[in-house]
Amino acid sequence: MPAEARVAGPKTAHAHQFEDAGQQREAVTLGMWVFLVTEILFFGGLFLAYAVYRWSFPAAFTLASRHLDVLLGGVNTVVLIGSSLTMAFAVHAAQTGRRRALSLFLLLTMLLGGVFLGIKAVEYHAKFVERLIPGASFMMSEENAPAHFDPATDPAIAAGVPSVDPGAEADLQRHAQIFFSLYFAMTGMHALHMVIGLGLLTWLLFGAARGRFRPGADAPVEIVGLYWHFVDIIWIFLFPLLYLIGRHA
Amino acid sequence: MSGTPAGRHYLNSAYGIRSWLLTVDHKRIALLYLTSVTLMFMLGGVFAALVRLELLTPAGDFFHADTYNKMFTMHGIVMVFFFLIPGIPAVLGNFLIPMMVGARDLAFPRLNLLSWYLFTIGAVFTLFNIVIGGVDTGWTFYTPYSSAYTTTNIVPVALGIFISGFSSILTGLNFIVTIHKMRAPGLTWFRLPLFVWAHYAYSIIVILGTPVIAITIVLLALERVFHLGFFDPALGGDPVLFQHFFWFYSHPAVYIMILPAMGVISEIIACFSRKRVFGYSFVAASSLAIALLGFLVWGHHMFVSSQSVFAGLIFSILSFLVAIPSAVKVFNWTSTLYRGSISFQTPMLYAFGFLGLFTIGGLTGLMLATLGIDVHVHDTYFIVAHFHYIMVGGTVMAYLGGLHYWWPKITGRMYPEWWGRLSALIVFIGFNLTFFPQFIVGYLGMPRRYYAYPPEFQVLNVMSTAGASILGVGYLIPLVYMIWSMRYGKAATANPFGATGLEWQTSSPPATENFAEPPIVTEEAYAYDRIPVPERGVYAG
């Protein structure tokens, strides 16, 4: 590729196919926005599946969602919003040419992202211990319900599904498996995006160390920032859908 | 603008395998795609031939039912995901769109190279699965058969399609950004060639549809490998949800295939009737209308899958609506031809073929959108004939027409005109002989996907198989003379057909940076009344 890159003439601040840096900046920004549209549609499939099954099995979904740790989920939400804030500071630092601040905020963002994934791992491990991984050994029982869960006063059980009926109990188990399948697919896909984001941040950090991002040449920081905020927003939807809805009932 | 192959151009600017495999030049990447896509087309064709061979006789003589299932599945997967969907955009779109908008390259050249590699890796995964035993679900992968019951290799194929889906997404993204941000000075939206408009609409569908099939395939793989429950009725999951997901992408995928083809046809018809395209802005807008309406009709694949009659009615009506922008295009092409100065060159013959086949496919599509008729012919050869007329008749005719039309630009050599016309004729005859009998045999009740059938259907099946062999010959002829012409063909001038469009204003083949100087556009596309007709001798065979 160097052969072709040289065709455009003397070394310039922008790639050979662009007329000027402004055009390049507009192009990469539009490119990232279009990519995020594809991401919305990608997660859209998961959200649709969730909506369909939540509609079909409200009692099982309500019960199953109470097996999620709302405290850890809540802490993670705060952590992730915090990382979006530090990311925004990083973008601002790149725009204003403060190299030291840029590196600092990128590191902070990565740290918070790492904390998020760590907490997620703790949650996954708890689900594994509680036999809430879909499959042959799946068993959602009152024993593995969180301490604050009391089936006697549970309105979902009182209203819909008497737990003495073995058929209904089996249905509940099967439908709860679908909830946890969706839980792992949605949060897993989100975590995968976080890992990719951490990779991109690492790449930015190396660039920042070499002084690559100057005012006017900060587009990579900006578009990675867009990506990071997007991943954050996905979680903002996942958290209430998986952890909160029905909990108050 | 010397235009002789002796000059410096993108083909001889660098030599060696590395200069091809690491290129970021959109024109070279288009040729990489041309090679891969042609290979996949030949492979898919071999599977088609085997399917037709089995159906020559009523009894299952040649293969077991299992083998036959794997044959038609691989035919479908290879043709749909690795030929029809990437074909025109990846080859012609890649080559032409930067030139048509007056740019030096696509907005993201390295992303473009990446998408070729993703395509290749996806193809390798899919082909690898043939080696280890094949897949028997049909290209639609319906659950729960695919997720719980079949013992064949769903996961490698699903992975292959998932990866090649990213290739499509990146190509679409590249096109959208290029068309938005890299147009030459003076090239306003309504001066763009209709080929570019068609690819713009194509890109929108790719951007909105492909991620949905991607997540669907992920869910299918998760269900199969990790036993997560999504579509498994044993867990309370809904197999029909899979069908909704699948067709939400796979119906628009038909427009992914046909819209670029329509773009090609617009260029060819304008050039070889030497007229402005009648109703240019309507043809441009109809591409967008097809893209948007195409997303609202997936339910017509599911009239008999537990969908309510009311939903069926809505999907039926919406499906009728897509016929409007499609008809706008066909009528505008016809009006362009009217009183045009028509010359029957090879690309034009293919374009005429497209008009005929697409119209038959479209009108039978209206029949199928009608609830009652669809219930009668559901999963019969009528369906097979219909979608082959649209997807294959439409896309392949346009692909071959476009390949001939831009061949001088791509290679700097002319194809042999006499052989070109012959191939167009043979393909048209072979195609109709293959698929028209399938309308009849399907209407009489022969189901699709069966490897044996009652003897009364044999005459029509023999006709179809005979047609398939003629079609095969029709495809092989261009393969031979195109390769021949790369070395021995007559040198092409910059603009051998006397066409409008920025791509004809640079040499053939173009220099690496496309244009010596960035072009400035001062008038609309298709100002054919300003350009003299080239002398016959230039392109006569």
pLDDT digits (tens, 9 = 90+) for B108-121: 999 999 999 999 99
For residue B13, the chain A residues in CB contact (below 8 A) are: 3-4
Backbone angles phi, psi at B104, to 5 degrees: -80, -25
ipTM score of complex? 0.92
* Residues of B in Cβ contact (< 8 Å) with A177: 229, 235
* Burial environment of residue A173 by CB neighbours within 10 A (0 to 12, 13 to 18, 19 or more): middle
Q: Are B277 and B270 in contact (CB under 8 A)?
A: yes
pLDDT, tens digit, for every residue of B307-341?
899 999 999 999 999 999 999 999 999 999 999 99
pLDDT tens string A127-186: 999 889 888 888 887 655 554 555 555 555 555 555 556 778 888 889 999 999 999 999
Please answer yes or no on whether B219 and A49 come within 8 Å at the CB atom. Answer: yes
Query: What number is the average pLDDT over the span A85-95?
Result: 96
Average pLDDT over residues B74-94: 96
**What pLDDT shows up at residue B536?**
53
User: If we measure between CA atoms, which residue out of A13, A5, A27 comes closest to residue A222?
Assistant: A27
Q: What is the dihedral of CA B53, B452, B361, B209, to 10 degrees?
A: -100
pLDDT of residue A235: 97
Nearest CA in chain A to B14: A3
CA distance to partner chain B, nearest, from residue A36 (Å):
10
Percent helix, strand and coil across chain A, each to the nearest 5: 75, 0, 25
Task: Give chain A's mean pLDDT.
Answer: 87
Q: Give the A:B interface size as CB pairs under 8 Å.
A: 138
Chain B residues 54-113 within an 8 A CB cutoff of chain A: 98, 103-110
Instruction: Return the axis-axis angle of helices B109-131 and B26-54, rounded to nearest 10°.
Output: 20
Touching check for A14 and chain B: CB below 8 Å?
no
Residue of chain B whose Cα is closest to the Cα of A34: B173
Q: Which of residues 187-206 of A touch B (CB under 8 A)?
A: 189
Mean pLDDT, residues B72-81: 96
Whether A229 has a pLDDT exceeding 90, the answer reads yes
CA dist., res. B257 & res. B80, Å (int) = 9
> What amino acid is encoded at A75 in this protein?
V
The beta strand positions in B313-471, using DSSP E, are none
Q: Which of A27, A56, A135 sits opposite B227 (nearest CB)?
A: A135
Q: Which residues contact A59 (CB under 8 A, 6 or more apart)?
A: A156, A157, A159, A160, A161, A172, A175
Residue B398: band (very low, low, confident or very high) from pLDDT cuts 50, 70, 90: very high
Cα–Cα nearest to B47, from B143, B134, B146, B164: B134
Q: What is the DSSP letter of B306?
A: T
CA-based nearest distance B172→chain A, Å: 9
Q: Running DSSP on this structure, what letter comes out for residue A244?
A: I
With beta carbons less than 8 A apart as the criterion, state whether A29 and A219 touch. yes
- List B residues 186-215 in contact with A (Cβ-Cβ < 8 A): 207-212, 214-215
User: What is the per-residue pLDDT across B5-20, written as a single tens digit (0 to 9) for each?
Assistant: 457 899 998 899 999 9
Interval B156-175 mean pLDDT: 96
Q: Which residue has the tokens 């048209």?
A: B428
Nearest chain B residue (CA) to A56: B236
Q: Which two tokens stand for residue B318?
A: 């919406």
Regarding predicted confidence, which is higher, A151 or B221?
B221
Residue B187 pLDDT more than 60?
yes
Quick one: which of B512, B541, B524, B361 has its CA closest to B26? B512
User: Under 8 Å CB-to-CB from A70, ≥6 apart: which residues?
Assistant: A243, A244, A247
pLDDT confidence tier of residue B160, bands split at 50, 70 and 90: very high
Residue B98 with chain A: CB contacts under 8 Å: 17
Is there a contact between A8 and B104 if contact means CB atoms under 8 Å apart? yes
- Residue A51 in this model has a pLDDT that exceeds 70: yes
The pLDDT tens digits of the residues spanning B18-57 come to 999 999 999 999 999 999 999 999 999 999 999 999 999 9
Alpha-carbon distances, residue B341 vs B262, B455, B533 (angstroms): 21, 50, 9
User: What pLDDT does residue A211 have?
Assistant: 87
Q: Are B385 and B439 in contact (CB under 8 A)?
A: yes
Contact criterion met (CB < 8 Å) for B235 and A43: no
Residues 122-151 of A with CB under 8 A from B: 134-136
Give A38→chain B minimum CA distance, Å: 5
| Yes or no, beta carbons of B237 and A53 under 8 Å apart | yes
pLDDT of A10 > 50? The answer is: no
Q: How far is B254 from chain A (nearest CA, A)?
A: 19
- Backbone region of residue B187 per phi and psi (left: phi > 0; alpha: psi in -120 to 50; beta: other values): beta
The whole-angstrom distance between A178's CA and the closest CA on chain B is 5
**What pTM, to 2 d.p., does this model score?**
0.93
Q: Which residue in B534, B505, B496, B502 sits closest to B414, CA to CA? A: B496
Could you tell me if B173 lies within 8 Å of chain A, comparing CB atoms? yes
Quick check: A33 pLDDT over 90? yes
